[in-house]
């Protein structure tokens, strides 16, 4: 669709340069899954690049290939110009990887985990202990320093996991769904941490299922679906494709849905989208002010509503606009930012 | 009008990301040793928190030494006391095998955990996550070997080889256990589940220990069995231990046993590293 809106940056400036990445799972003969199916990815030094996609889109698989964790079945990838297949050891020195599931040792304490990773990265014992203490303080985990990870909450694990990825001060950081499962406050803290890393000059490649997260953090976004890149651009460009915001309406009387849809279409000249639950309408708005006109039109038609919310488009709406089908994830767990 | 390069993705960078210029293409020997020691440290921490890892190495020597000595002693050597010089080195070898067998199962379980994803993504020697636990496991072999000898002495065993000979046999047992552990480490990296490792390990362990001269003299067996027993590497370890502990002599058997151990490591350590690096 609106692929490659920007001219490619000069190769030397690319933190990640991947072309035609392919990963297939399954044996020939049985049903083969093309988890990643020819994805091109160019991440410029110093930017935050967001990979947006629903469950099973191939986000984790793609990051794993770039992080030398999975063999690449097709295509070519390099990190800061270093080939991922030929020079895995060099690539690993450039990367900090925070996986989707916490990759820390359950049986060790927080301090022991960080000391272990620091030792593995070549720091002497005293230095390793200092690094561990510093990072624990920075991530607000000092009190839990001597607790085993199996007694940690999900949010604490995530923070420790990110801390572990920063020991080597890597110039490129992979974050696979860094805030999935975090409460809003912890999520905000995670966002702040990510912004700090960027301010210190790190390049970040993050995946997420939430458009608002990509919007908050990313300079550029690639949307992937079923292993393919369906769009790429700045958050503004993507949202422009679905209207800048969405008015979500719920009718008092579900049987009037069709009538309400007709009223909305007359007011804005564009048909609203019916939500999966009955009696709900999503109205894409090019301009948030349009909400007023819709509400006035409904009142004049004497159609009563229970709720009206103006919010950013969800991933599902971006998806629908880009691919013509719903993403499977966004039934109830879409995070919405209430503006009205 | 001045040409302004339009960059909608203008990075917020305050200082440029430092991309090191001189990246090593592989870890040095020194780094590999350090990383292995760090991994061994991790394994000892885990052992301390799961004391059940010490059950087999404490109970088995106590139980097996007493059991085998009293059951077979009279039948094979006429009396328990006469059987001890034959059976103690046998039990040593058997304990070495059974304790090092746990390596495979544990590694398999460990590899399924999230932390191994991080180990794989770190710029560390691929052998470190395998060699570290193997090194820490030496502690368990030491406990098992020491207890076996102590139980024997408590039952009236007086090693003819003296302190030095006994120490030699003890050391050989530990070297053998560490070497054979690489077979099970390799199994751990190729098998699909911990149960599979367990099953296959048993199938390897039983013929190796029981079809050896660990419990009965090879000469007392039918010809075809004697032939197998004589080529079984465990038999060489057992004979070498007997020579050291009972005679205090460093015989050719000791050389063969060590050579066998070296061969096992030379074959299975590279195989294990290779299949570990390939595994997702
Ligand atoms: N080891 C594997 N063996 C077989 N199929 C796999 C394997 N790993 C991933 N897949 C398949 O590849 C596809 C992409 O999976 P992937 O984990 O990359 O998705 P994702 O975008 O990270 O999803 P999520 O948001 O749920 O984390 C899925 O269909 C998945 O079933
Ligand atoms: Mg994933």
Q: Where do the structural domains in chain A lie, given as residue ranges? A: 3-239, 243-312
Q: Whose CA is nearest to atom 29 of ligand 1?
A: A56
Q: What is the pLDDT of residue B254?
A: 93
DSSP-derived 3-state class of residue A252: coil
What was the pLDDT predicted at B166?
A: 94
Stretch A261-276: mean pLDDT: 82
What's the gap in Å between the CA of A120 and the closest CA on chain B?
A: 5
Contact status of B120 with chain A (Cβ, < 8 Å) = yes
Tell which one of A39, A41, A58 to mutate to probe ligand 1, the residue whose CB is within 8 A of the most ligand atoms. Answer: A58
- The SS3 of residue B165 is helix
| Residue that wins the pLDDT comparison between A39 and A9 | A39
- Based on its alpha-carbon atoms, the radius of gyration of chain A, rounded to whole angstroms, reads 23
Question: What is the structure's pLDDT at A325?
Answer: 67
| Ligand 1 pocket at CB < 6 A | A 25, 33, 35, 53, 55-61, 100, 209; B 280
Instruction: Give the number of C-alpha atoms closer than 13 A to the C-alpha of residue A170, restricted to the C-beta side.
Output: 31
Interface A–B counts its CB contacts (< 8 A) at 137
Distance from CA of A46 to the nearest CA of B (A): 5
Provide the mean pLDDT of chain A: 85
Residue B19 has pLDDT above 90, yes or no: no
pLDDT for position B18: 64
What is the model's pLDDT at position A222? 94
pLDDT of A184: 87
Probe site for chain B from A120, A236, A239 (most B CB atoms < 10 A): A120
CATH class of A243-312: alpha beta
Residues in chain A with CB shorter than 8 Å from the CB of B25 are: 87, 89-90
| pLDDT for position A326 | 65
Residue contact A90–B23, C-beta within 8 A = yes
Q: Measured in whole angstroms, how far is the alpha carbon of residue B32 from the centre of its chain?
A: 19
Residue B245 above 50 pLDDT?
Answer: yes
Please give the pLDDT value at position A327.
Answer: 62
Tens of pLDDT, residue by residue over A118-140, are: 999 999 999 999 999 999 998 88
In Å, how far is B46's CA from the nearest CA of chain A?
6
The predicted model scores a pTM of 0.83
Across chain B, what does the average pLDDT equal? 86
- Cβ B38–A116 below 8 Å, yes or no? yes
Judged by its nearest atom, the ligand closest to the C-alpha of residue A69 is 1
**What residue ranges in A154-244 does DSSP mark as E strands?**
172-176, 203-208, 220-225, 228-233
- B114: contact with A, CB 8 A cutoff: yes
- Nearest residue to B56 (alpha-carbon basis) of B21, B18, B88, B97: B97
* Rounded Cα gap, residues A215 and A239, in angstroms: 9
CA B276 / ligand 1 centre spacing (Å): 21
Could you give the CA distance from residue B146 to residue B143 in angstroms, rounded to a whole number? 5
Dihedral sign computed on CA atoms, order A220, A223, A229, A233 = negative
Arithmetic mean of pLDDT, A240-259: 81
**Tens-place pLDDT, residues B61-103:** 888 888 888 888 888 888 888 888 888 999 998 888 888 888 8
The answer on pLDDT for B148 being more than 70 is yes
- A315 — pLDDT class (breaks 50, 70, 90): low
What architecture is domain A3-239?
3-Layer(aba) Sandwich (3.40)
Q: Which residues of B touch A101 (CB under 8 A)?
A: 114, 117
Verify whether the Cβ–Cβ distance A219 to B46 is below 8 Å. Answer: no
Given a cut of 90, whether residue B128 has pLDDT beyond it is: yes
pLDDT at B82: 84
- What is the tens place of the pLDDT at every residue in A146-186? 999 999 988 889 899 999 999 988 999 999 999 888 888 88
Q: What confidence score (pLDDT) does residue A54 get?
A: 85
Averaged over B252-264, what is the pLDDT?
Answer: 93
Please give the average per-residue pLDDT across A198-226, as a whole number: 90
ipTM of the complex: 0.84
Question: How would residue B168 be classed by pLDDT, with cut points 50, 70 and 90?
Answer: very high
Model pLDDT, residue B14: 32
For residue A195, give the chain B residue with the closest CA: B12
Question: Quick one: pLDDT band at residue A10, thresholds 50, 70, 90?
Answer: low
Q: Does residue A305 register a pLDDT over 90?
A: no
Residues of A in contact with B46 (CB under 8 A): 107-108
**What pLDDT is stored for residue A331 in this prediction?**
40
Within 8 A of A147 by CB-CB distance, chain B residues are none
Q: Are B142 and B167 in contact (CB under 8 A)?
A: no
Residue with tokens 């919310």: A309
């Amino acid at each position: 669709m609106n692929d490659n809106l920007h001219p490619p940056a000069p190769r030397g400036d690319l933190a990640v340069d991947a072309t035609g990445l392919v990963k297939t799972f399954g044996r020939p003969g049985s049903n083969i899954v093309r988890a990643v199916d020819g994805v091109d990815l160019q991440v410029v030094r110093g930017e935050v690049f967001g990979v947006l996609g629903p469950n099973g889109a191939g986000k984790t698989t793609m990051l794993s290939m770039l992080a030398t964790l999975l063999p690449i079945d097709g295509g070519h990838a390099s990190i800061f110009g270093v080939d991922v297949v030929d020079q895995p050891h060099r690539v690993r020195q450039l990367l900090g990887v925070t996986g989707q599931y916490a990759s820390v040792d359950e049986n060790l304490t927080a301090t022991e985990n960080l000391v272990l990773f620091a030792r593995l990265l070549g720091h002497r014992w005293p230095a390793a202990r200092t690094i561990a203490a510093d990072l624990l303080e920075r991530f607000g985990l000092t009190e839990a320093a001597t607790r085993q990870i199996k007694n940690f909450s999900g949010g604490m694990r995530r923070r420790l996991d990110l801390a572990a990825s920063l020991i080597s001060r890597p110039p490129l950081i992979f974050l696979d769904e860094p805030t999935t499962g975090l409460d809003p406050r912890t999520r905000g803290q995670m966002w702040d941490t990510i912004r700090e890393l960027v301010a210190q000059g790190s390049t970040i490649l993050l995946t997420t299922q939430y458009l608002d997260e990509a919007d908050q953090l990313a300079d550029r976004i690639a949307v992937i679906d079923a292993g393919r890149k369906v769009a790429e651009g700045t958050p503004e460009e993507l949202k422009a494709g679905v209207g800048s915001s969405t008015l979500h309406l719920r009718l008092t009387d579900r049987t009037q849905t069709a009538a309400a849809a007709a009223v909305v279409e007359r007011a804005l000249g564009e048909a609203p989208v019916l939500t999966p639950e009955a009696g709900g309408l999503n109205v894409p708005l090019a301009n948030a002010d349009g909400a007023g006109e819709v509400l006035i039109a409904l009142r004049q038609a004497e159609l009563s509503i229970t709720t009206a919310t103006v919010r950013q488009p969800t991933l599902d709406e971006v998806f629908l606009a880009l691919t013509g089908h719903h993403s499977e994830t966004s039934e109830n767990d879409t995070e919405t930012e209430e503006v009205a | 009008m001045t040409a302004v390069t339009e960059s909608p993705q203008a990075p917020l960078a305050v200082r440029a990301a430092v991309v090191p210029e001189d990246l090593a293409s592989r870890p040095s020997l020194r780094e590999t040793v350090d990383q292995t020691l760090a991994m061994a440290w991790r394994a000892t921490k885990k052992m301390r928190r799961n004391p059940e890892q010490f059950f087999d190495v404490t109970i088995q020597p106590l139980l097996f030494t007493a059991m085998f000595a009293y059951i077979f002693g009279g039948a094979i050597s006429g009396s328990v006391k006469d059987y001890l010089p034959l059976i103690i080195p046998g039990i040593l070898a058997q304990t070495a095998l059974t304790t090092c067998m746990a390596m495979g199962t544990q590694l398999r379980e460990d590899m399924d955990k999230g932390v191994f994803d991080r180990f794989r993504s770190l710029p560390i020697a691929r052998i470190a996550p395998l060699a570290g636990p193997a090194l820490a496991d030496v502690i368990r072999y030491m406990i098992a070997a020491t207890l076996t000898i102590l139980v024997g002495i408590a039952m009236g065993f007086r090693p003819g080889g003296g302190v030095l000979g006994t120490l030699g046999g003890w050391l050989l047992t530990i070297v053998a256990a560490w070497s054979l552990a690489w077979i099970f480490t390799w199994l751990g990296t190729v098998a699909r589940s911990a149960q599979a490792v367990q099953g296959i390990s048993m199938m390897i362990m039983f013929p190796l220990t029981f079809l050896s001269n660990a419990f009965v003299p090879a000469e007392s067996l039918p010809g075809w069995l004697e032939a197998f027993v004589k080529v079984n590497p465990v038999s060489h370890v057992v004979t070498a231990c007997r020579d050291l502990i009972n005679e205090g002599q460093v015989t050719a058997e000791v050389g063969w046993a060590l050579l066998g151990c070296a061969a096992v490591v030379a074959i299975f350590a590279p195989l294990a590293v290779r299949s570990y690096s390939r595994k997702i």
